[in-house]
Amino acid sequence: MTEIDKDALRRKYREERDKRLRPDGNDQYLRLTGRFAHYLDDPYTPMTERAPKSDHVTIAVIGGGFAGLVTGARLKEAGVEDVRIVEKGGDFGGTWYWNRYPGAQCDTASFVYMPLLEETGHMPTEKYAHAPEILEHCRRIGKHFGLYDNALLHTEVLDLTWDETRSRWTITTNRGDAFTAQFVAMGIGPLHVPKLPGIPGIQDFAGHSFHTSRWDYAYTGGDPSGAPLDRLADQRVAVIGTGATAVQCVPHLARACQELYVVQRTPSSVDVRDNRPTDPEWFATIATTGWQQRWLENFTANQAGGQAEEDLVMDGWTDISRRFRAKLKELPPEELTQESMLAAFEDSDFEKMEEIRARVDTVIEDPETARRLKAWYRQLCKRPCFHDEYLQAFNVPGTHLVDTDGKGVERITEKGVVVAGREYEVDCVIYASGFEVGTDYTRRAGYDVTGRGGVRLSEHWAQGMRTLHGVHVHGFPNAFLVQPTQGANLISNIPHNLTEAGRTIAVTVRHALDHGHAEIEPTAQAEEAWVEFLLSGTGPALGSPDCTPGYYNNEGRHLGKKGWLGVGHPHGAMAYFAYIDRWRTSGTFEGLEFRPYGAGPRSDRTRQS
């Protein structure tokens, strides 16, 4: 490899970032309300009428994606039978219910990405399973653990209010339900509110349009399993956005459209995918008791603070850390300082990104197109992508890269999209423009939570998220979060965070039920101590303001302390998983208070007496 001019690269990265910084940050995007509300309609399952619920359940789980499913599964395993999942989609699956665009597949190896494989006895058919198989797996989990029995599908929660006198939650929904639950678990998902770019004139387009998370197969032809999009042969289509979603659907569009315009603001880094079918004989050799937990731990150990001898998973994520560790090994032990480690990290990043850029040249026939497809930032500034057909799609006649040089689409007209003063007339615009991130939790949830004393979660978190272990929140008894932040925060494998949270919740609820406790709540001191502990770390692993803007870094705008609270365990995901396992098995539930009906927290009782 030729010598890398590091200063020149740093300069280039800065220039490319500066081009893209904009004062409106997250406000540049549009919510799908008002005239855009129909973009959110469910194209996959017709709504069926049902009578509203006004009963009582032991636990309501909000969200029927991986988070809700694994929590429901762990609860059932713990003998908690009365579980009700409330899900806005027409079936379980969450992100895999909504995202059925052609080519959708997981980017983390299926063996660690797909949860509860061992429990359900499923062998992923490919190293990176495609969306229909993952959606089917969600249904499998639902059936295996009996989670359909009491579920409310096509149902959105409107309000959650704690009833102090009866020690239970009242849940109201858009289907007229008003039922109660002793406990609630919220697994609303990190990327589930589609957004549109706020491009001037977006409302004027007279052709067809949709967001990738509500793919309109009636318009394109084809189906989620990859059948050709046979209604596009005479269509001119523009795709806006070149993130992980576009990378997967563009090859399918390129094969099908008369003309395809891929409108790019920032190129993705697209590394080798190397997908392959699973060999059942090989799988039989690895799938011995406890295999998936071993693989999960190995995956995490390989990249998030662990000491792994071997790399079982060998995917794009573990490759990033393998390279970094190799660089570290080159350093003499006496030179191992934080500075030298950061430099080693930067070196391995430069090398990796140079390879990814060189790959563009080897694949793309037109040198100008190749130049424009190169990503100029550190790899983890944006979500890394892995694909073996995306770049190749730009060699297909009729597929055009419309590079906006960081500026984005200038305007949308009745007839098409305008970039750098040129209008591209199209019949259809497909928005691969992503999902809301970095906005307030309750805004994304679509409901607020009213806890003890009428305090709202939006108020409690006005200065940023505050939890114990990323699961419990002071002032919100019997309510649990199922998500990564303030826990392991392992972004390369979100489902691992969720299965662990599910375990924690199941153990805690089981303990309360076994001992006749009506309420569980973290003490204010425990929550404060956990938050202080989180803040003692080096800050968010992702989202450096030096990066080119994107949702990893709040579109390049500092979030202050709020942003700092979006972290995980200061010593890494491995340390969190080990800690929380000890916490669960100790049986002392340190930091939680268990109370009888209507008792109120001990601190309040002391004040009153």
Q: Tokens 């050709």 belong to which residue?
A: 228
**478, amino acid identity:** N
Q: Are 242 and 266 in contact (CB under 8 A)?
A: yes
Among 68, 102, 316, 408, binds ligand NDP (CB under 6 A): 408
Stretch that binds ligand NDP, among 200-208, 339-347, 430-438, 446-454 (CB under 6 A): 430-438
Backbone angles phi, psi at 399, to 5 degrees: -105, 125
Residue number, 248 or 467, with CB nearest to ligand NDP: 248
Q: Mask of contacts with ligand NDP, 346-385, x by CB under 6 A?
A: -------------------------------------x--
Can you list the positions of beta strands (E) in 427-478?
428-431, 449-450
Stretch that binds ligand NDP, among 52-60, 101-109, 300-308, 351-359 (CB under 6 A): 101-109
Residues 261-320 that bind ligand NDP (CB under 6 A): 263, 265-266
Residue number, 72 or 434, with CB nearest to ligand NDP: 434
Q: Are 242 and 262 in contact (CB under 8 A)?
A: yes
**H or E element: which one contains 423?**
strand 422-425
Nearest CA to 259 among 372, 400, 416, 404? 400
Q: How far apart are CA 80 and CA 183, in angstroms?
A: 11
Binding status of residue 438 toward ligand NDP by CB under 6 A: no
- Which positions ≥6 away from 161 have C-beta within 8 Å? 169, 170, 449, 450
Q: How far apart are CA 236 and CA 604, in angstroms?
A: 65
- Tokens read off for 200: 């001037």
Binding status of residue 432 toward ligand NDP by CB under 6 A: yes
Binding status of residue 250 toward ligand NDP by CB under 6 A: no
Residue number, 20 or 140, with CB nearest to ligand NDP: 20
Helix (H, G, I), strand (E, B) or coil at 335: helix
Stretch that binds ligand NDP, among 293-301, 351-359, 402-410, 536-544 (CB under 6 A): 402-410
- Which positions ≥6 away from 209 have C-beta within 8 Å? 428, 429, 430, 431
Binding status of residue 147 toward ligand NDP by CB under 6 A: no
Can you list the positions of beta strands (E) in 311-413?
385-386, 399-403, 411-412
Q: How far apart are CA 208 and CA 185, in angstroms?
A: 39
Binding status of residue 553 toward ligand NDP by CB under 6 A: no
Provide the sign of the torsion angle of the four alpha carbons 272, 276, 281, 286, taken in this order.
positive
- Tokens read off for 79: 């003998």
Residue number, 383 or 474, with CB nearest to ligand NDP: 383
Among 551, 576, 577, 583, binds ligand NDP (CB under 6 A): 551
**213, amino acid identity:** S
Among 105, 489, 499, 553, binds ligand NDP (CB under 6 A): 105
Among 89, 197, 224, 451, binds ligand NDP (CB under 6 A): 197
Binding status of residue 434 toward ligand NDP by CB under 6 A: yes
Binding status of residue 389 toward ligand NDP by CB under 6 A: no
As measured in angstroms, the least distance from the Cβ of 578 to ligand NDP is 26
Among 107, 271, 315, 527, binds ligand NDP (CB under 6 A): 107
As measured in angstroms, the least distance from the Cβ of 366 to ligand NDP is 21
Stretch that binds ligand NDP, among 140-148, 328-336, 359-367, 404-412 (CB under 6 A): 404-412
Among 106, 116, 238, 445, binds ligand NDP (CB under 6 A): 106
Nearest CA to 230 among 132, 133, 102? 102
**554, amino acid identity:** N
Radius of gyration for the chain, computed over Cα atoms and rounded to the nearest angstrom: 24
Classify burial at 368, counting beta carbons within 10 Å of its beta carbon; exposed 0-12, middle 13-18, buried 19 or more: exposed
Q: How far apart are CA 471 and CA 568, in angstroms?
A: 12
Residue number, 489 or 504, with CB nearest to ligand NDP: 489
**H or E element: which one contains 13?**
helix 6-20
Classify burial at 165, counting beta carbons within 10 Å of its beta carbon; exposed 0-12, middle 13-18, buried 19 or more: exposed
Q: How far apart are CA 324 and CA 382, in angstroms?
A: 18
Q: Tokens 């697994």 belong to which residue?
A: 187
Nearest CA to 105 among 330, 276, 253, 264? 276
Among 32, 114, 237, 244, binds ligand NDP (CB under 6 A): 244
Residue number, 190 or 451, with CB nearest to ligand NDP: 190
Binding status of residue 493 toward ligand NDP by CB under 6 A: no
Q: Mask of contacts with ligand NDP, 53-92, x by CB under 6 A?
A: ----------------------------------------
Among 191, 270, 412, 573, binds ligand NDP (CB under 6 A): 191
Helix (H, G, I), strand (E, B) or coil at 42: coil
Binding status of residue 187 toward ligand NDP by CB under 6 A: no
Stretch that binds ligand NDP, among 146-154, 222-230, 393-401, 431-439 (CB under 6 A): 431-439
Residue number, 263 or 567, with CB nearest to ligand NDP: 263
Stretch that binds ligand NDP, among 234-242, 310-318, 421-429, 471-479 (CB under 6 A): 234-242
As measured in angstroms, the least distance from the Cβ of 267 to ligand NDP is 8
Binding status of residue 243 toward ligand NDP by CB under 6 A: yes
Residue number, 313 or 520, with CB nearest to ligand NDP: 313
Contacts with ligand NDP, residue ranges (CB under 6 A):
20, 105-107, 191, 197, 199, 240-246, 248, 263, 265-266, 383, 404, 408-409, 432-435, 550-551
